[in-house]
Amino acid sequence: MNEINALFHPHSIAIIGASNNPKKIGYQILSNIISSGYEGKIYSVNPEAKEILGIKAYPSIKEINDDIDLAIIAIPAPYVPSVLEECGMKKVKVVIVISSGFKEIGNIALENELLSIAKKYGMRILGPNVFGIYCASSKLNATFGPKLVYPGKIALITQSGALGIALMGWTNMNKIGLSAVISIGNRLDIDESDILDYLSLDSETKVIIIYMEGAKDGRKLMKSLYSINKPVIIIKSGRSKIGSIAASSHTGSLVGSDIVYTTAFKQCGALRAYDVLQAFDWAKVMSMQPPPINDEAVIITNGGGIGVMAADACEEYGVKLSILPEDLQYQFKKIIPFFGNAKNPIDLTGQANEEDYYKALEIALKDDRIGSIILLYCQTAITNPLKIAESIINACSDVNKTIVTCFIGDIECENAMKKLEENFIPTYPIPERAVSSLAVYYKWLKYKKRKINPTISF
Q: Which is nearer to a second copy, 148 or 452 (CB)?
A: 148
In 3D space, the residue among 262, 202, 191, 194 whose CA is nearest the CA of residue 229 turns out to be 202
Nearest approach in angstroms of CB 226 to a second copy is 26
Q: Which of residues 80-109 bind a second copy (CB under 8 A)?
A: 100, 104-105
Q: Which of residues 237-256 bind a second copy (CB under 8 A)?
A: 237-247, 249-251
Number of residues assigned to the chain: 458
CA 119 to chain CA mean position, Å: 31
Binding mask 107-146 for a second copy (x = CB under 8 A): -------------------------------------xxx
Indicate which single residue of 132, 152, 269, 303 sits in contact with a second copy (rule: CB under 8 A). 303
Q: Which is nearer to a second copy, 60 or 379 (CB)?
A: 379
Instruction: Write the single-letter amino acid at 120.
Output: K
Judged by CB under 8 A, does residue 430 bind a second copy? yes
Q: Which of residues 187-216 bind a second copy (CB under 8 A)?
A: 211, 213
For the chain, report the end-to-end CA distance as a whole number of angstroms: 20
Nearest approach in angstroms of CB 15 to a second copy is 16
Nearest approach in angstroms of CB 167 to a second copy is 7
- Given a contact cutoff of 8 angstroms between Cβ atoms, the answer to whether 175 and 150 are in contact is yes
Q: Which of residues 33-72 bind a second copy (CB under 8 A)?
A: none
Nearest approach in angstroms of CB 136 to a second copy is 18
Nearest approach in angstroms of CB 320 to a second copy is 10
CA 123-125-130 angle, to 5 degrees, is 160
Indicate which single residue of 79, 274, 330, 458 sits in contact with a second copy (rule: CB under 8 A). 274
Judged by CB under 8 A, does residue 382 bind a second copy? yes
Q: H or E stretch including 260?
A: helix 258-267
156 — alpha (psi -120 to 50), left (phi > 0) or beta?
beta
Q: Which is nearer to a second copy, 245 or 452 (CB)?
A: 245
- Given a contact cutoff of 8 angstroms between Cβ atoms, the answer to whether 101 and 94 are in contact is no
Judged by CB under 8 A, does residue 343 bind a second copy? yes
Which strands, in side-by-side order, build the sheet including 427-428? 346-347, 297-301, 372-378, 402-408, 427-428
Judged by CB under 8 A, does residue 328 bind a second copy? no
Largest Cα–Cα separation, the chain: 80
DSSP classification of residue 443:
H
Q: Which is nearer to a second copy, 5 or 174 (CB)?
A: 174
Q: Which is nearer to a second copy, 123 or 346 (CB)?
A: 346
- Given a contact cutoff of 8 angstroms between Cβ atoms, the answer to whether 83 and 61 are in contact is yes
Nearest approach in angstroms of CB 165 to a second copy is 6
Q: Which is nearer to a second copy, 64 or 310 (CB)?
A: 310
- Given a contact cutoff of 8 angstroms between Cβ atoms, the answer to whether 168 and 159 are in contact is no
In sequence order, what are the residues at sequence separation of 6 or more whose Cβ sits closer than 8 angstroms to the Cβ of residue 65?
none
Q: Say how many C-beta atoms besides its own lie within 10 A of residue 3's C-beta.
A: 21
